[in-house]
Structure 1
């Protein structure tokens, strides 16, 4: 349907047509559509109704990641929070945990950087990597009830800000960049 996937976010899709933009955010079984082009949104809805059984909700007031996804890695680590336990590094368990954290980082970009670093040691994890992974789990446990609040700002503007760092990473020695997108004045990614 001519939507292009964002290079940086696997759940974000864009479509430009007639000098207008449509944005589609897909997460597991949920989709958020926004646009400058109402005709494009109606056409997309019609095509989705023809293929799937969907329920169309009206204006988005609150969006939250499913907390069961966030608690899955926490359940995986049964000894969470016990500082006196210093279990040997179980490579298989570490790999499963990092895999779940990678998946979770698509909806929780605040853990993306540390999960990316931890995944570099997936074949030879050390206790220090295990300890950092447990810290990420503790952090997730503390923010389970956090969500995004979208507030009306009286406009439908889309703004995207990009920052780049040329060889700023001493670990990888390569170019890094990030972006953030605002829709109607609200941060979406």
Structure 2
């Protein structure tokens, strides 16, 4: 954490550097998106021999999402394959690590603002999972203009339309906003 007249800056720069070193990706070529836009993962493929290594990397990436909401969606995808990862899933992890390499010092800034509003934004990826056709909910909430919560999670049911998927995402966001209002 760094402080200045602008506010607090929360970053896990050293953690990212240590993670890249542990994964032997310190010299990897950086990429500027955490996912390939044409990514379509499946359950088939060459099984990964060292499952515990995959699980350890995913766990560390989950911890990193505390200050890096930009990787929350891609890490949630990698997390879905924790019990039987393939080489394709491992390549997804390497892509996320290469993305982190490009933006090692990114984090969250918390500053004092004049506004006292609580706001939220949401979206849904209708039937975005090619395996089970479930949608993904994503939202973030702000208090006084500062990002305080964010989430990316696969919905529990298959939505019949994009409207239904977005409605479910909106409902999750409203629940979060009500909880924040009660907390404050």
Return the TM-score normalized by structure 1.
0.54
Off by >4 Å, runs of 4+ in structure 1: 79-83, 150-153, 164-168
Partner residue, 2:79: 119
Indicate the larger mover: 67-76 or 131-140: 67-76
Partner residue, 1:162: 122
Residue 81 of structure 2 is aligned to residue 135 of structure 1: no
| Counterpart secondary structure, 1:171 | coil
Whichever of the two has the greater Rg, that structure is 1
Partner residue, 2:168: none
- Tell me how large the CA RMSD over aligned residues is: 3.2
Partner residue, 1:68: 14
| Distance in 1, Cα, partners of 2:52 & 2:72 | 21
- Displacement after TM superposition at 1:188 (Å): 3.4
| Distance in 2, Cα, partners of 1:148 & 1:81 | 25
Unmatched 5+ residue regions in structure 1?
Answer: 1-29, 31-56
- Displacement after TM superposition at 1:145 (Å): 1.5
* Structure with the largest fraction of helix: 2
Q: How many residue pairs align between the two structures? A: 130
From 130, 148, 159, the counterpart of 1:188: 148
Closer, same or farther: CA 138–92 of 1 in aligned 2, 3 Å: same
| Distance in 2, Cα, partners of 1:89 & 1:130 | 11
Partner residue, 2:70: 110
Closer, same or farther: CA 185–131 of 1 in aligned 2, 3 Å: same
Q: Per chain length, whose mean CA-contact separation is higher, i.e. which structure has more relative contact order (CA < 8 Å, sep 6+)?
A: 2
